[in-house]
Amino acid sequence: MSTPFIQCRELTRTYTRGTERITPLDKLDLDIDRGQFVALMGPSGSGKTTLLNLLAGIDSPTEGELLIGDTPVHSLSRGRLAAWRADHVGYIFQLYNLVPVLNAYENVELPLLLQSITRQERHRRVSNAMEAVGITDRHKHYPRQLSGGQEQRVAIARAIVTEPDLLLCDEPTGDLDRETATSIMDLLQRLNRDEGRTIVMVTHDPATTRWADTLLHLEKGRLLEHEEVTT
């Protein structure tokens, strides 16, 4: 049996707010295999976003271990974490979070500016990513000139342009109508099935979980149930 791609061991995150101690994630044990598409559900405050942030290296655990691939993410310094994130993680936000003063092409190009590649190579990768999400004809448009669905496609192109192993999606269809949400979920599924990317998606919408192959339920920082999704 192969080693899981993501291994969480007693993963804990604690905050202190005034005198109050909050533990959104409490000794979580979780394994995710390479190439899995995991949907993460749970009520508000269940620890979904905290887990996503820990997986992305945006936040660090208070206790426990987090191993992604061969990297002990829990023990990396801020600088190394940033470098690791740039190479291995693509993050898709609910509200797209494009940089408003950059056009679609420049937004997608942004993560590549950190890599030592030629301008031609950068151009090739941006074009490929934009083509993969079907947004090539909008490359000169600014975020304000795009629809919600188009903005999310640009955000997905930005997330995949570095060809990361892990795609983390924080309610990627939360702000979209049903039709657009379907097309975005189809796109994520294609990236998972055709390109073998591991996807962890936080969602509130049960309808979007049918694209995933595993559904996890979190409550009060603990894993409640773990079910395989049949499509």
Partner 1 sequence: MSRLLRLIPVVFRTIRRSPIRSGLTIMGIAMAMYLFTGVESMRNGVRDATEAGAGDSMLVVYRENRYCPFTSRLPEWYVDRIERIEGVKAAVPMQILVSNCRASLDVVTFRGVPGDSLGASLSPGTEIVAGSINDWTKRGDAAIVGESLAARRGIRVGDRFNAAGVAVYVAGILESSEMQDRNSAWVHLPFLQEALRRGGTGGFVTQFNVVVDDPARMDEIALSIDEAFAHDERPTATRPEKAFIGRAARDIVGIANFAGILGWGALVAVFALIANAIMLAMRDRIRDHAIMQTLGWTGPLIGWMVLVEGAMLGLFGGILGAFGAWLTIQYGRFAMTMEGASIEISTSAWTAIIGTGLALALGILAGVAPALRLSRRSIASSFGAV
Nearer to partner 1, 57 or 149 (CB): 57
Cα–Cα nearest to 199, from 112, 89, 124: 89
Least distance to partner 1, CB of residue 113, Å:
5
Q: Which of residues 127-146 bind partner 1 (CB under 8 A)?
A: none
Nearer to partner 1, 158 or 197 (CB): 158
Q: What angle do CA 183, 104, 184 make, to 5 degrees?
A: 10
Instruction: Pick one of 22, 82, 207, 224: the residue that binds partner 1 (CB under 8 A).
Output: 82
Nearer to partner 1, 150 or 209 (CB): 150
Nearer to partner 1, 95 or 207 (CB): 95
Segment near partner 1 (CB under 8 A); pick from 18-26, 35-43, 97-105, 205-213: 97-105
Nearer to partner 1, 42 or 164 (CB): 164
Main-chain phi, psi angles of 61, to 5 degrees: -70, 150
Instruction: Pick one of 45, 76, 110, 217: the residue that binds partner 1 (CB under 8 A).
Output: 110
For position 106 contacting partner 1 by CB under 8 A, the verdict is yes
Q: Concatenated DSSP letters for 52-87? A: HHHHHTSS--SEEEEEETTEEGGG--HHHHHHHHHH
Count of residues for the chain?
Answer: 231
For position 113 contacting partner 1 by CB under 8 A, the verdict is yes
Under a CB-based contact definition with an 8 Å cutoff, are residues 93 and 58 in contact?
no
Least distance to partner 1, CB of residue 86, Å:
2
Count of residues that interact with partner 1, criterion CB under 8 A: 28
For position 74 contacting partner 1 by CB under 8 A, the verdict is no
Point out which residues bind partner 1 (CB under 8 A).
53, 56, 58-59, 78-79, 82-83, 85-87, 89, 91, 93, 97-102, 106, 110-111, 113-114, 116, 158, 162
